[in-house]
């Protein structure tokens, strides 16, 4: 139960919402494969039968949580696509916001292969989300070119676009599978952002290099992240 300003009364958070909030924390901390439905029910303070009333399987839980990622990503895509400002700093802000979304839903990006195995129904939604975000990244590159931040030869553009999307989305999978990092921390956000930034470096103008450094100097480790 959570308190809220509702005419001086305490607002009761719906059980379904509490289940999703608790599941997100548990999945982020330990990964879906290490969390049982019994543990989720215990964390929420309900019995397992009550949990099954709302979500009959772990796949159903993963599907519901994925919808929250879709909502966050969709809002980000709309804002990014509608940008008309010439302020160079807006692009680094967009990149940091995307990484913040990854952080909130980090279990998905860290454990994606296992999640698809558990919830194959998410394969197509994941692909659709990926395609949508690739279009946003492509639009941002075009806007950055117009703002004289970057100059990418036509032949290099498809490869840069693909690599930016791959690295910005799957850096957490790399850390988990290749480096054995199972517990992502804010400093890993900084690491991932630096990997993406390195892809832009060969094409940046002097103005772009300055904006890149400003972005990298704002460490996630020194900020409050969820």
Overall number of domains in the chain = 2
For the segment 59-76, the average pLDDT, to the nearest whole number, is 93
Do 98 and 49 lie in a common domain? no
Do 131 and 29 lie in a common domain? no
- Cα–Cα dist 226/223, whole Å: 10
Q: What are the contacts of 48-53 at 24+ separation with CB within 8 A?
A: 50/15, 51/19
| End-to-end Cα separation, the chain, in angstroms | 19
What count of other Cβ atoms lies within 10 Å of the Cβ of residue 194?
A: 13
- Cα–Cα dist 210/150, whole Å: 12
Average pLDDT along the chain: 85
Highest averaged pLDDT of the listed ranges 19-33, 69-83, 121-135, 140-154: 19-33
**What's residue 62's pLDDT?**
96
Instruction: State pLDDT tens for residues 106-136.
Output: 898 888 888 999 999 999 999 998 888 888 8
Q: Tokens in use for 176?
A: 């988990």
Q: Give 222's pLDDT tier (boundaries 50, 70, 90).
A: low
For the segment 160-179, the average pLDDT, to the nearest whole number, is 83
Do 167 and 94 lie in a common domain? yes
- What is the reported pTM? 0.78
Say if CB 56 and CB 39 are below 8 A apart. no
């Amino acid at each position: 139960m959570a308190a809220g300003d509702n005419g001086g009364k305490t607002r009761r958070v719906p059980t379904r919402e509490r289940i999703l909030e608790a599941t997100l924390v548990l999945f982020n901390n330990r990964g879906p494969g290490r969390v049982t439905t019994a543990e989720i029910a215990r964390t929420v303070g309900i019995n397992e039968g009550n949990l099954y009333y709302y979500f009959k399987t772990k796949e159903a839980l993963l599907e519901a949580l994925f919808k929250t990622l879709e909502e966050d990503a969709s809002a980000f895509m709309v804002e990014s696509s509608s940008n008309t400002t010439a302020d160079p700093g807006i692009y680094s802000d967009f990149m940091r916001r995307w990484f913040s979304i990854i952080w909130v839903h980090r279990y998905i990006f860290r454990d994606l292969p296992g999640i698809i195995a558990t919830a194959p129904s998410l394969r197509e939604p994941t692909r659709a989300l990926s395609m949508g975000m690739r279009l946003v990244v492509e639009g941002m590159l075009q806007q950055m070119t117009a703002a004289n931040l970057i100059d990418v030869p036509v032949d290099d553009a498809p490869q840069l676009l693909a690599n930016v999307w791959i690295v910005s989305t799957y850096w957490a999978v790399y850390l988990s599978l290749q480096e054995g990092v199972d517990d992502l921390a804010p400093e890993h956000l900084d690491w991932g952002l630096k990997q993406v930034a390195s892809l832009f470096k060969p094409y940046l103008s002097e103005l772009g290099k300055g904006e890149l450094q400003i972005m990298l100097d704002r460490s996630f480790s020194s900020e409050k992240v969820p």
